[in-house]
Amino acid sequence: MWRKHQMHLKYIMQFNTEFESSMTKKYFGTDGIRGPVGVGSVTPEFILKLGWATGKVFEEQGHCKIVIGKDTRISGYMFESALEAGLVAAGADVQLLGPMPTPGIAYITRTLRANAGIVISASHNPHYDNGIKFFSNEGEKLADEIEHAIEQKMDEPLVVVESSKLGKASRVDDAAGRYIEFCKSTLPPMMDFSGLKMVVDCAHGSTYHIAPHVFSELGAQVIKIGAEPNGININDGCGATNPAALKEAVLLNSADLGVALDGDGDRLIMVDHLGEVLDGDEILYILAKTRLDEGRLGKPSVVGTQMTNLGVEHALKRLGIDLLRSDVGDRHVFQLMKQSGSILGGEGSGHIICADRTTTGDGIISALQVLEMMSRKSKRLHELKSDIQKYPQCMINVKLKSGEKFALTDEMSSAVKAVEKTLNGSGRVLLRPSGTEPVVRVMVEGEDLSLVKTLALDLSKTVERLLER
């Protein structure tokens, strides 16, 4: 049972505990392993060994079955083969899904009763990056202790089990169809989007053969873009990280709305009929408000992160909904959701978790929940977000020296307090080390854009000067 949890919401500096947690691991970062193909841990040799180590860890608990899925980047073929070879060498059975969204892999891992699921993807990154991340048998992020156990096995010599104990590999031919039906099942049985004209941008990623079918099978007229992957065009000028193409297509086709997913399908950005972009913060607000109106929110709280816009928090507060702030990262969002009993959580980047529908961030399912609310209330997307007045936010990255660990000093604290005093209670200041790159993120948020930019620039220069000492 999820434990009750109280979150202190005072706008003070918070630190990304995931940064320190990830530092205790040799290979795994904030969300598995990720980087440029052919560099460091993202090589065929390393991934082969990783597959073997993973198989050995799970085989110690009994004969295991591991599911592997991937996005559409060209290096996925190479790493799929390497993982398969390593797992089979350790005695584990493998089931290959082919191109599948990350949340789809989580779902199929559960339904096939596999011991774990492995995703080959670098999410919203360009094609020349790739990575590996894991799901547990419950479709959730793999526990830290299992990642530590896998890393320990990586230091052992690779020994192939005897031939009679080698694992077997097979393909799941109907993986896409299974996931399409699951997505549709998250809506009431008679929900029908007939008459809705929408653009769907698949980012040339793993939803290209899934998302358009989900929406069209529910009755919508779908105009698809970013649905012709060639191995290197994933996330290239399209998708959730580049909504300009979606905006143009919505306006050109006089569509009711647009949906943009990222390369692995766990992010969602939307565009209304006027071409205005809605990020994850606004989508989270819409889902929370409509669930509250219909008595389906449960506990009146949702989980955001340190970066969730203050305007969204104020809009939620007017509804009587508390915003609980976790560290940045969907893993942390989900953990706080479990602790607090909240059924909704998300990030401005578009990671939205509807825990009453699925176990992880899912762009397609989140979009379906918004479309359901539009249908129930007979309102356009633009109307659903009209209650929110987002505050200007400025973030500047200050580079750390190689191997340097960020430590807050008294002088930095004084500089932050000075900025907070200038904001006079109408904004926030945040310093946090990134969990994915060697930088300190300096963020200032407030009502006045010009003032916010000036304060963020001044504070970043102060932090940079103090770090150089």
Contact 201, 255 (CB under 8 A): no
Contact 203, 240 (CB under 8 A): yes
* Structural domain boundaries enclosing 107: 31-173
Q: What integer is the mean pLDDT of 231-243?
A: 97
Q: Are residues 199 and 319 in the same domain?
A: no
pLDDT band at 329 (very low <50, low <70, confident <90, very high): confident
Predicted TM-score (pTM) of the model is 0.89
**Which residues, including other chains, have CB under 8 Å from residue 359's CB and lie 6 or more apart?**
106, 107, 110, 138, 139, 140
For the chain, the first-to-last Cα distance in angstroms comes to: 49
- pLDDT tens-digit profile of 143-152? 889 999 999 9
pLDDT band at 17 (very low <50, low <70, confident <90, very high): very low
- pLDDT tens-digit profile of 124-150? 999 999 999 999 999 998 888 999 999
In whole angstroms, give the CA distance from residue 425 to residue 391: 13
In whole angstroms, give the CA distance from residue 67 to residue 109: 6
Residue 214 pLDDT greater than 60, yes or no: yes
Question: For residue 434, what pLDDT is reported?
Answer: 80
Cα three-residue angle 137-42-33, rounded to 5 degrees = 40
Alpha-carbon separation of residue 152 from 83, 410, 434 (angstroms): 18, 38, 25
- pLDDT tens-digit profile of 373-404? 999 999 999 999 998 999 999 999 999 987 78
Q: Are residues 224 and 160 in the same domain?
A: no
Q: Are residues 239 and 115 in the same domain?
A: no
Contact 251, 275 (CB under 8 A): yes
Length of the chain: 469
130 is written with which tokens? 């790739």
Cβ atoms within 10 Å, residue 403: 6
Q: What integer is the mean pLDDT of 4-28?
A: 44
Strand blocks (E) in 218-264: 221-225, 257-261
Residue 24 pLDDT greater than 80, yes or no: no
* Domain CATH for 413: 3.30.310.50
Answer yes or no: is 272 within a domain. no
Pairing of strands 277-278, 393-399: unpaired
Q: Are residues 217 and 333 in the same domain?
A: no
- pLDDT tens-digit profile of 154-165? 999 999 999 999
DSSP 9-44: --------HHHHHHHT-SS-BTTBEEEETTSTT-SH
Question: For residue 23, what pLDDT is reported?
Answer: 47
Question: For residue 38, what pLDDT is reported?
Answer: 97
Answer yes or no: is 428 within a domain. yes
Question: For residue 115, what pLDDT is reported?
Answer: 97
**In whole numbers, what is the pLDDT of the chain averaged over residues?**
92
Q: What's the number of CA atoms in the CB half-sphere (13 Å) around residue 238?
A: 27
Percent of the chain with pLDDT over 90: 84
Q: Are residues 226 and 245 in the same domain?
A: yes
Q: Are residues 311 and 210 in the same domain?
A: no
pLDDT band at 18 (very low <50, low <70, confident <90, very high): very low
In whole angstroms, give the CA distance from residue 122 to residue 351: 15
Helix/strand/coil for 2: coil
Catalytic residues: 123
Answer yes or no: is 269 within a domain. no
In whole angstroms, give the CA distance from residue 324 to residue 2: 15
Question: For residue 436, what pLDDT is reported?
Answer: 67
Answer yes or no: is 42 within a domain. yes
Answer yes or no: is 458 within a domain. yes
- pLDDT tens-digit profile of 41-82? 999 999 999 999 999 999 998 999 999 999 999 999 999 999
Helix/strand/coil for 269: strand
Question: For residue 1, what pLDDT is reported?
Answer: 33
In whole angstroms, give the CA distance from residue 65 to residue 57: 12
Question: For residue 30, what pLDDT is reported?
Answer: 66
Q: Are residues 7 and 114 in the same domain?
A: no
Answer yes or no: is 349 within a domain. yes
In whole angstroms, give the CA distance from residue 102 to residue 246: 22
In whole angstroms, give the CA distance from residue 280 to residue 399: 27
- pLDDT tens-digit profile of 427-469? 999 998 886 678 899 999 999 999 999 999 999 999 999 998 7
Handedness of CA 191, 195, 198, 204 (dihedral sign): positive
**Which residues, including other chains, have CB under 8 Å from residue 304's CB and lie 6 or more apart?**
281, 284, 312, 313, 323, 324, 325, 326, 333, 345, 346, 347
Q: Are residues 68 and 100 in the same domain?
A: yes
Residue 327 pLDDT greater than 60, yes or no: yes
Q: Are residues 161 and 98 in the same domain?
A: yes
Residue 11 pLDDT greater than 80, yes or no: no
Residue 4 pLDDT greater than 50, yes or no: no
**Which residues, including other chains, have CB under 8 Å from residue 303's CB and lie 6 or more apart?**
323, 324, 325, 326, 333, 336, 337, 340, 342, 344, 345, 346
Final residue in a domain of this structure, among 121, 149, 173: 173
Q: Are residues 72 and 199 in the same domain?
A: no
- pLDDT tens-digit profile of 155-193? 999 999 999 999 999 999 999 999 999 999 999 999 999
In whole angstroms, give the CA distance from residue 383 to residue 363: 21
Q: Are residues 51 and 169 in the same domain?
A: yes
Domain count, the chain: 4
Q: What integer is the mean pLDDT of 5-25?
A: 39
Q: What integer is the mean pLDDT of 238-246?
A: 97
Q: Are residues 400 and 386 in the same domain?
A: no
More confident call, 15 vs 361: 361
More confident call, 25 vs 134: 134
Answer yes or no: is 135 within a domain. yes
Percent of the chain with pLDDT over 70: 94
Pairing of strands 65-70, 116-120: parallel
- pLDDT tens-digit profile of 104-129? 999 999 999 999 999 999 999 999 99
Answer yes or no: is 429 within a domain. yes
* Domain CATH for 116: 3.40.120.10
